[in-house]
């Protein structure tokens, strides 16, 4: 399996599929998942003649379960080393949830010389924490509850998230997919406890408002308006006001896990944005 070893010794797993001469599309997964969660999009875009690249964030999936470095700056630096090794240029970067925050930080920290466009799907920026100035945000008690639930029984907690709010399966009339639930749970359980635990603090400590204002490439925001994990009012609807070159597409009734629940629709939007 392909890995790169980054400067601090961590091994980062990556996938590199499709046409090596085609337009590059990079995918950054959400918490607590891996590159596997974007397989429907990667398969589709590769079949459109693209070169598709995705990684398992450090501590996630098949990458090293390091104790240190589970923070957004290090995630961005890992990407910079991966892109240098693969010599990717003019890529469209796609991030889901936490992965959206990761690619925004990459652009802020390393620039956009390798980037042509961004896509943020149900993503965390600009800032999730509820405050007097961000009343639509998520209360700190929710994040504290996540940590407590992981410490008590991570396996059950991950199952509850996947079978409930992540995909909107807790909504009346929702049709559950056992396959999607178990895939999410399996990806989460393969990822390291420390990395997935540390990631929770990113959601309530990192404000990416100023970073969003400085993104100098066209950026598409896709967000479900019934997202129970990253509420649309503290993310997409604020983020679009910050972006110099932004476009927002809302999916009515859409949950947080749009790439898995609505893969055909998401794939069509990605291809349209790539060709625009």
Catalytic residues: 97, 227, 256
- Partners of 17 in beta bridges: 52
Residue 36 CB neighbours (<10 A): 18
| Dihedral angle over CA of 123, 126, 131, 136, nearest 10 | -50
Q: Is the dihedral angle over the CA atoms 143, 144, 147, 148 positive or is it negative?
A: negative
Angle between helix 263-275 and helix 39-47 axes, rounded to 10 deg: 50
C-alpha 72/C-alpha 95 separation (Å) is 13
C-alpha 93/C-alpha 22 separation (Å) is 14
Omega before residue 126 within 30° of 0, cis: yes
| Dihedral angle over CA of 65, 76, 240, 120, nearest 10 | -50
C-alpha 96/C-alpha 86 separation (Å) is 22
C-alpha 194/C-alpha 249 separation (Å) is 34
């Amino acid at each position: 399996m392909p890995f790169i070893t980054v400067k601090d010794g961590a091994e980062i797993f990556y996938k590199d599929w499709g046409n090596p001469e085609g337009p590059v599309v990079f995918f950054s997964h959400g918490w607590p998942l891996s590159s596997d969660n974007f397989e429907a999009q990667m398969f589709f875009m590769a079949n459109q003649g693209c070169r598709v690249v995705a990684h398992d964030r450090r501590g996630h999936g098949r990458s090293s379960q390091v104790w240190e470095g589970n923070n957004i700056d290090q995630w961005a630096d890992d990407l910079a080393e991966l892109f240098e090794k693969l010599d990717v240029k003019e890529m469209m970067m796609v991030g889901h949830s936490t992965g959206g925050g990761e690619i925004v930080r990459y652009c802020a920290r390393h620039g956009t010389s390798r980037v042509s466009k961004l896509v943020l799907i149900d993503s965390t920026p600009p800032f999730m924490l509820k405050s007097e100035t961000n009343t639509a945000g998520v209360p700190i008690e929710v994040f504290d509850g996540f940590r407590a639930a992981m410490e008590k029984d991570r396996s059950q907690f991950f199952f509850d998230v996947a079978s409930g709010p992540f995909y909107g399966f807790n909504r009346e009339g929702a049709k559950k997919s056992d396959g999607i639930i178990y895939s999410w749970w399996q990806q989460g359980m393969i990822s390291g406890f420390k990395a997935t635990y540390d990631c929770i603090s990113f959601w309530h400590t990192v404000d990416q408002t100023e970073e969003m204002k400085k993104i100098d490439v066209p950026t598409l925001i896709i967000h479900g308006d019934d997202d129970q994990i990253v509420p649309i009012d503290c993310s997409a609807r604020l983020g679009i006001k910050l972006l110099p070159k932004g476009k927002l597409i809302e999916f009515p009734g859409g949950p947080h896990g749009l790439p898995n629940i609505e893969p055909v629709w998401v794939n069509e939007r990605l291809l349209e944005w790539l060709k625009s």
